[in-house]
Structures are given as C-alpha cells and as structure tokens.
Chain A
Amino acid sequence: MGSRVEILNEGGFRSDGRRQYELREVTIDLSQQGQADGAAVITHGLTRVMVSVFGPREAKSRSQTIHDRANINVEVAISPFSAGERRKRSRGDKRILEMAATIKSTFEPVVQTTLYPRSQIDVFVQVLQQDGGLLQGCINATTLALVNAGIPLLDFVCAVSGGVYSTSPMLDLTLLEENDLPNLTVAVMPKTGKSTLVTMETRLHVDRFEEIFKLVCSASHALHQEMKDAVRVRTTSLVTAMGTTQSNVGGDTMMDES
C-alpha cells in the first residue's frame, strides 16, 4: 500500500480534503452560447461540462421524426484535453455512445415531448474537464440547458454519484476514488423523489446499496437548491433587463399621447 493515496484517512478526510458526505464546489454558468436556444456550463470540482440545446426544431431527417412527440437527440463529445492523459476518442466510441443513450433515456420521461410532435430537440454535450462524476455532470448540465432553452420539464433532474469505501459510504467521487471504489450514479426528480436513472458499472454489495442510494437521493436535494438558485438569478436578471426599458417605452407613448 505504502505509496498509494489513502481514500479515507483516519481523521475521516478524503484525498482532496473533503468529508465523506461532502459534495464538491458547484458553479453554474447559464449565459448565452452562440446561437444555441439554451446552454449551461456546470463544474463539479475539477469536472466541467458544457451543454448546448437546440430546439425544438424541424427534425433533420424523415427517419428521426416521431409523429406524436419530439425526438431527443443527444450527442456527447469528450475533448481530448479533458483528462490527464491526452487521448482522442472517435465519435463512434462505444462508451460515448452508451453515455449519450443513458442521458437520452434519463430525460425522455422528464421532457414533455408530446407538446412538440414531429420536432427534434438536439442536446450537445461537451466534456471540457474530467475528474470523476462525468455522468452526473452531463445530466445536471443538460437539465440546466433545457430549462434555459424554455423546454417544458416535469421537474429538474439532479444527479449525484456515490460509492463505498469498505463500510463507509461517500458522495461525489473524484476520478481517483471512482477508480478504486464500487460506485453508482443516481438521477433524481427532487419534487416527487422519483429517480429516472440508477447506473452502476462496478460490483457493489447488495446490503450496501440501499444506504448509498438513500444518501445520494438526499444529496440531490442540496444540488437542486444550487440549480434552482442559478436559474432563478438568471431569470430574474433577464426579466429585469426587459422590464426596465419596457416601462420607459410605456412612459414614452404616454407622453406622446398627452
């Protein structure tokens, strides 16, 4: 063991100085990105994901149109510079395709697609930095970008990853922890407490599962607050920006009439 980094030291701290149940610093940027209808950049510690949403718009091909609802098209791209080791992944990479499919199935029950028959909603996920919790970052950023694009959702979707080190559960794993520990990612709709995604790529003892699952669900509420605050600030600032000049216009016409 000697040279290896301790996952959880005797003082109860993790390798990056966090406690067991502590989430990493979250920052959210909802500013406009180019011509996208909605965009969001979220960072969980050193993981950073940018999502651009286009649509609902005309489906690009006939085969992709669904006559009674919108089609959600998710494309994931992982930047070659995002990880410690520079590595270019092709677009057809199996892991990337799987992640895109996971994101798509997470959002299909949440987005009110039936309001937009024969249209398409494009979600472009760009991973800028990765340090564990990639899927949770992608899902959270996608939620925010969809909200920002004004696409009707039943609720926010908040994803958090969790793992277990011998008997102690942990939240929001870094890459180092993710490589060593059994871990899972859960996406929750906080209002109803329903989860739209539970995924696990490692083996986890069945007795540990319930404990971690509950913990992750409660952690998602903390994240929900952060996301709501970010959206509220953005919406408020847009409404005020529109409102101030609008009232002036009202004043103008009033004066003209008098």
Chain B
Amino acid sequence: MITFTSFPSSPGGEYDAVRRHRETDNDMDVDFDDDDDFSSNRLRLTLPGDYLTSSQAFMRGHGTYVHEDQVVASVAGTVERVNKLITVRAIRTRYNPEVGDLVVGRITEVQPRRWKVDANSRQDAVLMLSSVNLPGGVQRRKLESDELQMRNFFEEGDLLVAEVQAFFSDGAMSLHTRSLKYGKLRNGQLVIIPPILVRRLKSHFITLPCGVDLILGLNGYIWVSRHIKASDQAGEEGFDAEAVYSNQNDDIDEPTRGAIARVTNIIHVLAAHFVPLTDTILLEAYEWSVEQEEANKGLFQEDVAEALVASLHSRS
C-alpha cells in the first residue's frame, strides 16, 4: 500500500540533511545531570531503551519498565514526573481512555444486548443496550423487544458520540449515551487526527459562528456538522426517538456545506503540522482562511498551509 500524503516530509524531514561522522560511540542517554533533577521545566525526550533513573528512589509509570534496578523508557516521548512516579508519554499513540471522556466512535458489530464501537483505542469499546436512551421515556426497563430491534437504534457503520462510563477487567471501555447531547451523528463528516492533538477543554461541543458544529472526541475522532439550534436540540420535554435514531440527513444548503468542508480541511492541515486543536485556534484559522479568500482546496497547497500555521503562531 503506497499512499501519497500532502505533507510528506514535514515535520521531521531535516534528518537527512546532516550526516556526521562519529568518532566516539558515546551513550546518549537522557542526560540527567543528577538523578533527582526532575525539577526543571525543560521537556525531556526519551527513546526506547533509555535509562531514566534508579528504580530504588522512583516508581515506574506508563511507558517505562525496570531493568537491573534502573527505570528504562519503553516509548519515544516526553518524561513526566509526579512526585516519585516517572511516566513517559508517547508522542504518537492510540487513545488511552479515561472515565468521563467524550468520544466519537463507529459501530463495528451488533452483539446480544451490546454494540461494539471502534473508538481508536486498543480494543473496541462496548456500548450496552442498558446504557442508551430508549424510545418512550428515558427511564424504563429493557424489554426483549428492544433487544430484537437493536439495529433500529444503531447499525454497523453508524457514528455516535458517547461518554466513557467504566472499564472492563481486560481494559476495554464501556460507553454510555444517556444524555440528550449524546447519540447518533448526522449532517456532517468525520475527521480523524492523532488523539494527542485534542486537548481537554471545558466543553467538547463547539459551535463556530460560520454555522458549523464541532464535536472534538478525545479519541482523535472529530465530527464536523451543520449547526443545530439549541432550541431544536433540547426540543420537547422528553425525547424524540424518531429524530435521535434517524438515519436521514437534513437538507444542507450550499454555504453550510462549504463551511463544513473548509473546517474539515483546516483540521487536516493543522493535524499534518501537529498543531493541537482548541476552539480559539480553530476560530482563528477559519477567519484567516476566509480573509485570504483562498479557494477551499487551496488550503492543501503547502505554502498556504505553512502560512496558516505561521499566522497562528504569530497571533497571541
């Protein structure tokens, strides 16, 4: 499989430029001046196999292991320390779920009383029939008839937004959609970016002034869709199962489609340049791209993309 990406060499292309001759085979471990010196703010980078510190004085966390009384890094990333606990956070990795996280996922399988959901994690997540809102009252017993018509709620391939509820003993996560904010996704498109680029925010439901709603899933799945007015969303007192589990997209007018496509492209460009996403950054980037009166697809030209990222760096 050969794929051509729009930004093949950046970032990280400058490696080839320099060839040095090594006289000494010096061991370039992470250079702690002192074993206990973790206090400075400077980021420490590690590579797999780098010795970090003594395991007598420190505890090993994620991304490390103990070898011969030494804490050794097992991933390439940045070292973090909380009191006596040393962890290494890998720079690019799959999503590590935590309870309460908001995720966007796709149904992969329908099983007895549960759905399997792909959420970019190390295993598929589980969505139990008992943790979704069913038609006819939010609180009610699950009946056999619900079990038989599970595909009326979610089918294979459906996208949904949910919250991490708990973990199973093997580390798989259990989701729930028991809120009017959660449920099936319509009227938009999915963008996938590295999960580390999605920061924890006050709210992961973002509305841009251009008539576009965004759901920033902490698992790196982002849903970009048509804006739905708050009044429509909350709607009636109970909840309308027809609308929540509908598979039909609404009519979306031309300008909104353009705006959705533009936001999607901006996210792709920012992800390619490894810029973490927040609502302010997205808004600035959108304004910039409209100001430039750049045709939407022009964003993928390298010089335009570079200019966009540069403008974000300068604005602060």
CB of B93 within 8 A of CB of A118, answer no
Q: Tell me how far the C-beta of B95 lies from the nearest C-beta in chain A, rounded to whole angstroms.
A: 11
In the complex, the chain B residue whose C-beta lies closest to that of A39 is: B3
Q: Tell me how far the C-beta of B185 lies from the nearest C-beta in chain A, rounded to whole angstroms.
A: 20
CB of B124 within 8 A of CB of A235, answer no
User: Which are the 5 A-B pairs with shortest beta-carbon distances?
Assistant: A150-B93, A150-B90, A248-B316, A34-B3, A152-B74
B13-21, B223-231, B247-255: which lies at the interface: B13-21
Q: Identify B91's interface contact among A118, A238, A249, CB under 8 A.
A: A238
Q: Beyond A34-B1, A150-B92, is A241–B28 a contact (Cβ under 8 Å)?
A: no
In the complex, the chain B residue whose C-beta lies closest to that of A218 is: B25
A10 to B262, CA, bound (A): 65
Chain B, residues 40-71, CB within 8 Å of chain A (1/0): the string is 00010101110000000000000101010000
A246 to B75, CA, bound (A): 23
Chain A, residues 189-225, CB within 8 Å of chain B (1/0): the string is 1111000000000000000000000000000011001
Chain B, residues 112-126, CB within 8 Å of chain A (1/0): the string is 000010100011100
A229 at the A/B interface (Cβ < 8 Å)? Answer: yes
A245 at the A/B interface (Cβ < 8 Å)? Answer: yes
Q: Beyond A249-B278, A252-B280, is A234–B15 a contact (Cβ under 8 Å)?
A: yes
A27 to B9, CA, bound (A): 13
A228 at the A/B interface (Cβ < 8 Å)? Answer: yes
CB of A239 within 8 A of CB of B74, answer no
A32 at the A/B interface (Cβ < 8 Å)? Answer: yes
A180 at the A/B interface (Cβ < 8 Å)? Answer: no
14 other A-B residue contacts (CB within 8 Å) besides A32-B5, A151-B75, A245-B309: A29-B13, A30-B15, A31-B8, A37-B94, A55-B122, A150-B76, A155-B48, A229-B15, A238-B12, A239-B91, A241-B274, A242-B196, A248-B312, A249-B199
| Interface footprint category on B | 35 or more
**A252 partner residues in chain B, CB cutoff 8 A:** 280, 316
B132 at the A/B interface (Cβ < 8 Å)? Answer: no
B78 at the A/B interface (Cβ < 8 Å)? Answer: yes
Interface CB pairs A-B, < 8 A, 30? A28-B15, A37-B93, A112-B65, A116-B122, A116-B171, A117-B171, A147-B48, A148-B76, A149-B93, A151-B75, A154-B49, A154-B67, A191-B49, A222-B22, A232-B45, A232-B47, A233-B12, A233-B14, A234-B76, A235-B47, A236-B45, A237-B11, A238-B274, A239-B43, A239-B91, A248-B312, A248-B315, A249-B199, A249-B278, A252-B316
Q: Identify B22's interface contact among A225, A236, A240, CB under 8 A.
A: A225
Chain B, residues 161-184, CB within 8 Å of chain A (1/0): the string is 000000000111000000000000
**B1 partner residues in chain A, CB cutoff 8 A:** 34, 52, 124, 126
CB of A37 within 8 A of CB of B92, answer yes
A148 to B91, CA, bound (A): 8
Which of A150, A231, A240 gathers most chain B CB within 10 Å? A150
B273 at the A/B interface (Cβ < 8 Å)? Answer: yes
In the complex, the chain A residue whose C-beta lies closest to that of B279 is: A249
B263-316, CB < 8 A from A: 272-276, 278, 280-281, 309, 312-313, 315-316
Q: Identify B94's interface contact among A57, A112, A148, CB under 8 A.
A: A57
CB of A31 within 8 A of CB of B13, answer yes
In the complex, the chain B residue whose C-beta lies closest to that of A246 is: B276
Interface SS of chain B: loop
Interface residue tally for chain A (C-beta within 8 Å): 67
Partner-B contacts on A (CB < 8 A): 27-35, 37-38, 50, 52, 55-58, 67, 70, 112, 116-119, 124, 126, 147-156, 189-192, 221-222, 225, 228-249, 251-252
CB of A242 within 8 A of CB of B197, answer yes
Q: Tell me how far the C-beta of A37 lies from the nearest C-beta in chain B, rounded to whole angstroms.
A: 6
B77 at the A/B interface (Cβ < 8 Å)? Answer: yes
Q: Identify B122's interface contact among A27, A119, A192, CB under 8 A.
A: A119
Q: Identify B92's interface contact among A38, A56, A116, CB under 8 A.
A: A38
A228 to B25, CA, bound (A): 13
**A192 partner residues in chain B, CB cutoff 8 A:** 67
B192 at the A/B interface (Cβ < 8 Å)? Answer: yes
Q: Tell me how far the C-beta of A108 lies from the nearest C-beta in chain B, rounded to whole angstroms.
A: 15
CB of A30 within 8 A of CB of B12, answer yes
A153 to B1, CA, bound (A): 25
